[in-house]
Amino acid sequence: MSELLQIEEPMRSAPQPKPPAPQWKALLELGFRPLYMAGCLWAAVSVALWVFAPQWLAGRLGGVLWHAHEMLWAFVAAVAVGFLLTAASNWTGSNPIQGRALGGLCVLWLLARVGFLVVGDTAFAFAVVCELLFFAAAAIVLGRVIYAARSRRNYGLPLLVSGLGVADALFLRSVWQGSDYATLMHYLYAGLLCMAVIALLVARRVIPFFAMRAVTDLQIPMHTASGQWQLWAGVLGIVCLLLGWGPGMVTALAVTGLITLWQVLAWKPWAVRQVPLLWILYLGHAALGTGLLVAALQASSWVLRLAWPVHVIGVAGFAVLIIGMVTRTALGHLGRPLRADGSIVVMYVLVLAAALLRLLALLPAGLPQAALHASALAWVLAFALYLWRFVPLLIRPRLPPAGLSAAQPSGHVVRKSRKSV
């Protein structure tokens, strides 16, 4: 089984011991704990500011540019980095970063958020430095453990995180130089596609594994070969975008999107229709594939507004995958039962409603302002509910396995062979 899928999780029927007390040490034990919290908090706060209090966005990076930047390089990237830092400990048997170092990484991310809100060039420059240091540090610690463990199947991930940071740097440099809107959107698009490749690489590996663990007798293919085509087609799409070769980008994005949708069908979606922890991931993966097809149509002038692929990929794709991942993986890593209770299902419904309403707001007819406000409200409520439900768990140590006392270490990192799979 893939190294990425080696996750220490609770037995389904094991009785749950009494929850341990909150611990600062526990919060900084693995990357997903503080970064899931930070990312989901910022998802709620930033959208509330953008829709309901835009007058506060008076910094050098303001208006729609601030909104686009913070959604991709703050919210989505924080959750992605948190997931990768945690997964890397399972791929390699070594925790990439913890304790004060992890706290420092989170402080860099937080200072960038504050700096971009403050008026003035000095605050903007300070925020840029903090943000780029965040991406550089994340890529370095990931690369250190992955390359040391010779986890060849994951060699590209530190490079993709670096690429996400480079796209961010180019976007922010263009903001500083006062570049035109087309140039800014060019670099935003590059970052969006880089994040899409990371999301597809992770989702293609973990979704089949999660499904086969949860549904009795379900056997679905891992799609290793199609995953390689998907990965390289996605990377080719980014290269073609940066080189300005339109036909190549259209073809690469269309191929990536079609492979993604084919994977969803091959994973037997009808078999997971009664498992919320799974169908939310299937929907997010399908939406991401659809978004890449919309991006191909937009690049070939069939879809005129760039806002369509950006929001299909970003809201219907990334956000739906994220709410599924931050619940499913948190439950698994924290030793909790792998079941979606009522509050989790409500989160899923709210994010799906937010995505649908946001897309409806792009239509020329109808009530775009009302749909936008309703979408923002559903979005804020979804991530506020996540914080209410999961923060008390994220600040506590992992529950020990049944039969093991709380005083005995249960172990987060699973030691395994370093063979690449």
Closest alpha carbon to 210 in 332, 126, 379: 332
Structure-model confidence comparison of residues 305 and 194, the more confident one: 194
In whole angstroms, give the CA distance from residue 193 to residue 363: 24
Q: What is the pTM of this model?
A: 0.90
In whole angstroms, give the CA distance from residue 191 to residue 199: 12
Instruction: Read off the pLDDT band of 124 (50, 70, 90).
Output: very high
In whole angstroms, give the CA distance from residue 76 to residue 63: 19
CB neighbours (10 Å) of residue 417? 10
Mean pLDDT of 251-278: 96
Measured in degrees and rounded to the nearest 5, phi and psi for residue 29 equal -80, -40
Name every residue whose Cβ is closer than 8 Å to that of residue 396 and which is 6 or more positions away in sequence: 19, 20, 21, 22, 23, 26, 334
DSSP class of residue 141 equals H
Give start and end residues of each alpha helix (H) in 11-98: 24-27, 32-52, 63-70, 77-92
Please determine, for residue 411, whether its predicted confidence score (pLDDT) is greater than 60: no
Residue 371 corresponds to which tokens in the numbers above?
A: 């749909």
Structure-model confidence comparison of residues 165 and 9, the more confident one: 165
CB neighbours (10 Å) of residue 19? 15
DSSP class of residue 395 equals T
In whole angstroms, give the CA distance from residue 318 to residue 219: 26
DSSP class of residue 398 equals P
Average pLDDT, the chain: 89
